[in-house]
A = this chain, B = another copy of it.
């Protein structure tokens, strides 16, 4: 875009829809968790940690609807359900994984930035929008009560 041009937000809207799908609080975590192959419901739940059964079920259902994962029921006793990435899901995994990697690689920088910010604005109060930001104020976070993610 050359300076002077008016930036036309042409195809912005449609993307927002999809982003809402893949930008859910847990979507990235789930999809990256399925990176290495199919996984059972309980495995996912345990690996992710901090997600309730209700929400995990709902999120998986949504991922299924959007064609990112398949749901395979094995009618044994006890029953067994496996979730696996579809081709579409595996493709989405690529950029999502990049985000995940970035987050892992730059965690400390963000933490530092946050620390610096609060040193300069001692009385600033972290706004809560959208999903919870688990680390919020607390400088460090060897705290293991936080949600999960990564690669």
Residues on A facing B (Cβ under 8 Å): 1, 7, 9-29, 33, 36, 47, 49-50, 55, 57-59, 61-62, 64-68, 88, 91-92, 94-96, 98-104, 106-107, 109-110, 112-114, 116-118, 124, 126-135, 141, 144, 146-151
Contacts and interface: CB of A to CB of B under 8 A. Distances in A.
Nearest to A98: B95
Contact of A141 (B14, B128, B151): B14
Chain A interface mostly helix, strand, loop or mixed? helix
Nearest to A96: B99
Nearest to A134: B17
A47 B126 CA distance: 25
B127 A62 contact: yes
Oligomer: number of copies: 2
Contacts of A144: 13
Contacts of A95: 95, 98-99, 101-102
A29 to B, nearest CB: 6
Contacts of A129: 24-26, 55, 58-59, 62
A99 B27 CA distance: 13
